Structure 1
Amino acid sequence: MSNKIINLNINGMTCSGCSSHIEKDLNVKDGIVSSIVNHETGEGKFVYDTNKISNQDVINAVNNIGNYSVIEDIEKEDCCVTNTKDYDEKNKFDLIVIGGGSAAFSAAIKAEGIGLTTLMVNDGLDFGGTCVNVGCVPSKNLIRAAETVYHATHSNFKGIKPKGVEIDFTQIIKDKKALVSTLQQHKYMDVVSDFKNLTMLKGWAKFVDNKTILVDGKDTYTATNIIIATGATTNIPNIEGLNKVGYLTNVSLFDLEEKPKSLTIMGAGYIGLEIAMAYNRLGVKVRIIEFTDRPLRSQTNDITDVLETQMKTEGIEILPNFRAIKFEKDGDNTIIHCKCPDDSTTQIIEEGHIVVATGTKPNTSKLGLKNIDLNLTEKGHILVNEKMETNISNIYAAGDVTNTPAFVYTAATEGSAAVQNAFSLSKTILDYSSLPWVVFTDPQIAGAGMDELEAEKKGIPFEVSKLDLIHVPRALAAQDTRGFIKLMRNTETDKLIGARVIATEGGELIQQLSMAIKFGITVKDLAESFYPYLTLGEAVKLAAITFGKDVSKLSCCAS
């Protein structure tokens, strides 16, 4: 395919219905790749396949619609812009993307595919954003390294006695840094390196109006549509003395090449828990202070009980219902003043580092959002609908900065959907009702759909099946029966509406359960399907059978 872009000035448009009318008629014409029409400026931008039609064919097609007529055309070849400074309107784009993470890159890739001139403005974290630089990639790399240490020192089999392991902590961190650098280059920068319509700019963007941004207080840039994809960062609590004693977050912790003597982690959400297990297994003494009654409080007690037991077994100290009220330095040590569950106070001495993992906050404070009256949630996230639209018609948002689930894979989908919805009549609607997620502790915790509390809140008639892994042949063979699988079904339809798994490599099960929820698979279907024997996946079948039978009384592979 050989694409070209033709920009047309169109006479006769009076409202958004006019521009939609032209887009709709042109988009169904063979040879038209995409159509973007703005009734306010009177401009239309059309990407077409030169192997099928000519620029005059595009002009004729517009002239044949209603009372509209082309009064001027400026032809451009697709991908002709190598830098925004190479053409006259150097600071004018079809699309501006603010941010440089997964959502932003996904948006840029989608935009390039339909021939849009795009400006990506990013500062703070390097291009690639949280996931590759300070989130998913480094954390999972360290978690796997820590698992290697654990398995070299622990055995589930009496006949196998581990001899221990030698840990080169500095080398582990150096290897992590090398991996991050490689993936940041290969999966982000290299992907867009040959994009002809994309300009990447480092700097802080601030809104002047709904179509204009000011970068670093110097240059202004305009676009037809703007996508905000600035992500989120660690929410630092306002506690006396915290800013004076020095603290780490996942951003700074993962770069320490000298093994910490010890860590006190503030917060027992998924970030804090993954850090705790990884560093504890790498030989660091770890303590967790959690102001609620248990770790990972977003999940039900039966799940957190299994996890808490494992963490305590490994020597991690967990202090639930403790609230830090003051920090101060005593030489090299940090004194943490805490309010205890009984309202008394105590002092905890940390000889190593404080790590703050108390949730995240959206990166919106420096965007000048008051200049455009953009609606935010109570927690400061940009409020979007299922189309990633904000309350301002030409401004969209995607990723962790929004009020949607904060995962790298949802951010990527949202970025692409935002471009699709901003520049096309064919709208993409995102549905998170079957969204799968994983917490990479050991055992792993994974889920999709609703749990019991959510189903009860929504008034859905439901039934729960819970299968302990002691009934799963694979777990018995591995002599690792920690955890369970839990399924929720709608009792009126027998359809699966939710699933929770806590198991070694439990995250590998959740995708099929997510698909079952998405496509309305019944529990009967799950129970009667074929599953390879001695796989963890067989737990899905057994959990489905458990709705009606006692699986402990079935033979192997029976149903």
Structure 2
Amino acid sequence: MNNKFDIVIIGSGSGLMIMESALANGLRCALIEKSKFGGTCLTKGCIPSKMLVYPADIIREAQKSDRVGIEFCKPTIDWQKISARMWEQINYSIILEKNLKKNENLQVFNGTAEFTDRYTARVKLNDGGYSPEIQSKMFVIAAGARSLVPQIKNIEKTGYITSETFFGDDFPKKPWDSLIIVGGGAVSAEFAHIFSAFGTKVTIIEARPYIISTEEEEIRAFAEAEFKNNSIDVLPNSNIIDSKKSGTKKKLYVENTITNEITTVEADEILIASGIRPNSDTLHLENTDVKTDEKGWILTNEYLETTQSNVYALGDINGKYQFRHKANYEAEILIHNLFSNDTKKAAYYNAVPWAIFTHPQVAHVGITETQAKNLGKKYWVGKNYYSQIAGGVAMGITESSTDNGFVKIIVGEEKTILGAHIIGPHASILVQPFVYLMNANHKCHKQDIRKRNEISYPPLGSYMPINDSMIIHPSLNELTAWAISNINWAN
């Protein structure tokens, strides 16, 4: 076997995009993957989880259908069918792997990459032993991240699952009767929605004073109130001091950091969803010039270049937002820079969209009002509620509905959009136009296009294109568009 390659790619998530372009350009490639092919999103993240989220959404909608004059019997859950649809998506990785191994210009290694020198690596093979050393003048590290398991007394004896093991050997044969989720972020919020809708008693334990801490303060509070309305217990300000298994049940002993009161929470299973850590610790980067920060995230510049020449890092492992759409964006930047003769492109993160597929759905782009205030920005706020538009009223949402969600728009000087925050039906769709508008401002600025007196169009990144456009009526687009009319310019 020829062990010299034009490019070595570590990780088969967004790394596959680099691989495809490298092969299209006639390069000899090595691909190293320790797990299922397709990365976290395909095999243990955003795609399989949505196979569970959508049925949960339907259940929640059915529970509220009486407000529009439709009543359903209690839904029957076919867990086997739901599970089969999910596994069908995950198992696409098997087809993917088989097809990759048919390519004559690609050598696939099943195992964990370990650098032995600056441009030399070996693979700790999944079936035992090591591969011969492989060499390349170019490495792309897209090795991702994994669940961070906090230090909890006796937790290994007690037992727990993570999102990785859930979409693997620990997938339940039926929904649990009860579930404890440690952590209150996006993963926690989605799993809480899924299993509470399926009838599981869910308890969220969060060390911070609130859940989904990345969100606008009002949206955090709204989401937590709706969780409680859906019988999800939320325990903020909580420190887990011990754990124990008692028969078929698992117990966590939780201390409230405000009152010092200790309570016992018991459930069939414990899901750890308290954050992630980078997989850089498996790569033996000490044998290279690639540097990481204090938490292990690989340091990169705006061109995705690491501190070692011709070694690049993208996706979760560089610590700049852990989203597949962000990783895909970085892959496109890197493809352009590696395989094009055009001017190098830089990656920028001014308009990274977030979405949490919980119930109610949550999405945002840009900064929160608190962040705008802390940054000393001059800003104005506009809000609009679902109950204030015909589309929301048609869905049965009234001013007194507990799920009367809203959009909150934060604008700055020159009518620029600083942030858009939404909670309610289809939030992930409604936020996307603001991403386009905010990104337009960024492109204008970075290309150094100067504003001239004769220019008659509004500043790029402005909300004015929305303000000056026709809005389909009656549609949920009115929720976001009309929020601009509600901006309180007096404050």
**Is TM (by shorter chain) over 0.5?**
yes
Change (3 A) 1:458 1:94: farther
Residue 485 of structure 1 is matched in structure 2 by 407
Gapped runs of 5+ residues in structure 1?
1-84, 551-559
1:470 corresponds to 2:387: yes
Residue 225 of structure 1 is matched in structure 2 by 138
Q: Take 2:299 and 2:259, find their aligned partners in 1: how far apart are those partners?
A: 38
| 8 Å contact from structure 2 (residues 51, 82) kept in 1 | no
1:136 aligns with one of 43, 46, 57? 46
Residue 178 of structure 1 is matched in structure 2 by 88
Residue pairs, 1:268-283, within 5 angstroms:
268-283=184-199
Change (3 A) 1:251 1:387: same
| 8 Å contact from structure 2 (residues 215, 364) kept in 1 | no
For 2:244, the aligned partner's letter is E
Secondary structure at the aligned position of 1:480 is classed as: coil
TM-score normalised to structure 2 length? 0.88
Secondary structure at the aligned position of 1:96 is classed as: strand
Change (3 A) 1:156 1:320: farther
Q: Take 2:135 and 2:412, find their aligned partners in 1: how far apart are those partners?
A: 50
1:292 aligns with one of 195, 208, 216? 208
| 8 Å contact from structure 1 (residues 260, 353) kept in 2 | yes
Give 1:424 deviation, angstroms: 5.3
Residue 109 of structure 2 is matched in structure 1 by 201
Give 1:548 deviation, angstroms: 6.0
Give 1:153 deviation, angstroms: 3.3
Q: Which has the higher strand share?
A: 1
For 2:23, the aligned partner's letter is E
Secondary structure at the aligned position of 1:202 is classed as: strand
Q: Take 2:349 and 2:264, find their aligned partners in 1: how far apart are those partners?
A: 42
| 8 Å contact from structure 1 (residues 448, 499) kept in 2 | yes
C-alpha RMSD of matched pairs (Å): 2.0
1:211 corresponds to 2:127: no
For 2:434, the aligned partner's letter is L
| 8 Å contact from structure 2 (residues 316, 322) kept in 1 | yes
| 8 Å contact from structure 1 (residues 174, 257) kept in 2 | no
Between 1 and 2, higher relative CO (CA 8 Å, sep ≥ 6) is seen in: 2
Give 1:341 deviation, angstroms: 3.4
Secondary structure at the aligned position of 1:157 is classed as: helix
For 2:466, the aligned partner's letter is L
2:429 aligns with one of 483, 500, 508? 508
Change (3 A) 1:192 1:543: farther
Change (3 A) 1:453 1:196: farther
Give 1:522 deviation, angstroms: 2.2
| 8 Å contact from structure 1 (residues 119, 201) kept in 2 | yes
Give 1:324 deviation, angstroms: 0.6
Residue pairs, 1:110-149, within 5 angstroms:
110-123=21-34, 125-149=35-59
Q: Take 1:463 and 1:499, find their aligned partners in 2: how far apart are those partners?
A: 12
1:221-267 Cα deviation digits (max 9, x unpaired)? 01111011110110000111111111011122242223212100000
Q: Which has the larger radius of gyration?
A: 1
| 8 Å contact from structure 1 (residues 227, 418) kept in 2 | no
1:250-304 Cα deviation digits (max 9, x unpaired)? 1222422232121000001000010001111011111111111111112222001
| 8 Å contact from structure 1 (residues 443, 504) kept in 2 | yes
Residue 100 of structure 1 is matched in structure 2 by 12
Q: Take 1:177 and 1:226, find their aligned partners in 2: how far apart are those partners?
A: 32
Secondary structure at the aligned position of 2:133 is classed as: strand
Residue 319 of structure 1 is matched in structure 2 by 235
Change (3 A) 1:431 1:478: same
Give 1:194 deviation, angstroms: 6.2
Residue 451 of structure 2 is matched in structure 1 by none
Residue pairs, 1:78-477, within 5 angstroms:
85=1, 90-101=2-13, 103-123=14-34, 125-157=35-67, 159-182=69-92, 184=93, 188-189=96-97, 192=100, 195-216=103-124, 217-254=130-167, 255-422=171-338, 426-477=343-394
| 8 Å contact from structure 2 (residues 33, 109) kept in 1 | yes
1:499 corresponds to 2:415: no
Give 1:119 deviation, angstroms: 0.5
> Higher mean Cα deviation, 376-385 or 161-170?
161-170
Residue 66 of structure 1 is matched in structure 2 by none
Give 1:495 deviation, angstroms: 1.7
Secondary structure at the aligned position of 1:165 is classed as: coil
| 8 Å contact from structure 1 (residues 156, 478) kept in 2 | no
For 2:15, the aligned partner's letter is A
1:158-189 Cα deviation digits (max 9, x unpaired)? 5322211111223322331123224x356x44
Gapped runs of 5+ residues in structure 2?
125-129, 399-403, 441-459
1:523 aligns with one of 440, 463, 474? 463
Residue 533 of structure 1 is matched in structure 2 by 473
| 8 Å contact from structure 1 (residues 333, 352) kept in 2 | yes
1:427-456 Cα deviation digits (max 9, x unpaired)? 221111112221111221111122223333
1:369-412 Cα deviation digits (max 9, x unpaired)? 11114211222111111110111111110111112111111112
| 8 Å contact from structure 2 (residues 101, 108) kept in 1 | no
Change (3 A) 1:528 1:417: closer
Change (3 A) 1:194 1:432: farther
Q: Take 1:377 and 1:479, find their aligned partners in 2: how far apart are those partners?
A: 50
Give 1:331 deviation, angstroms: 2.2
Q: Take 2:69 and 2:335, find their aligned partners in 1: how far apart are those partners?
A: 58
Give 1:192 deviation, angstroms: 4.7
For 2:42, the aligned partner's letter is V
Residue 447 of structure 2 is matched in structure 1 by none
| 8 Å contact from structure 1 (residues 169, 282) kept in 2 | no
Give 1:142 deviation, angstroms: 0.2
Secondary structure at the aligned position of 2:135 is classed as: strand
Residue pairs, 1:50-65, within 5 angstroms:
none
1:489-526 Cα deviation digits (max 9, x unpaired)? 122x1122221111111111111111111112423332
| 8 Å contact from structure 1 (residues 388, 396) kept in 2 | yes
| 8 Å contact from structure 1 (residues 239, 325) kept in 2 | yes
Q: Take 2:206 and 2:488, find their aligned partners in 1: how far apart are those partners?
A: 39
For 2:408, the aligned partner's letter is K
Change (3 A) 1:166 1:95: same
Residue 26 of structure 1 is matched in structure 2 by none
TM-score normalised to structure 1 length? 0.78
**Among the aligned pairs, what percent are the same residue?**
29
For 1:92, the aligned partner's letter is K
> Higher mean Cα deviation, 254-263 or 270-279?
254-263
For 2:83, the aligned partner's letter is I
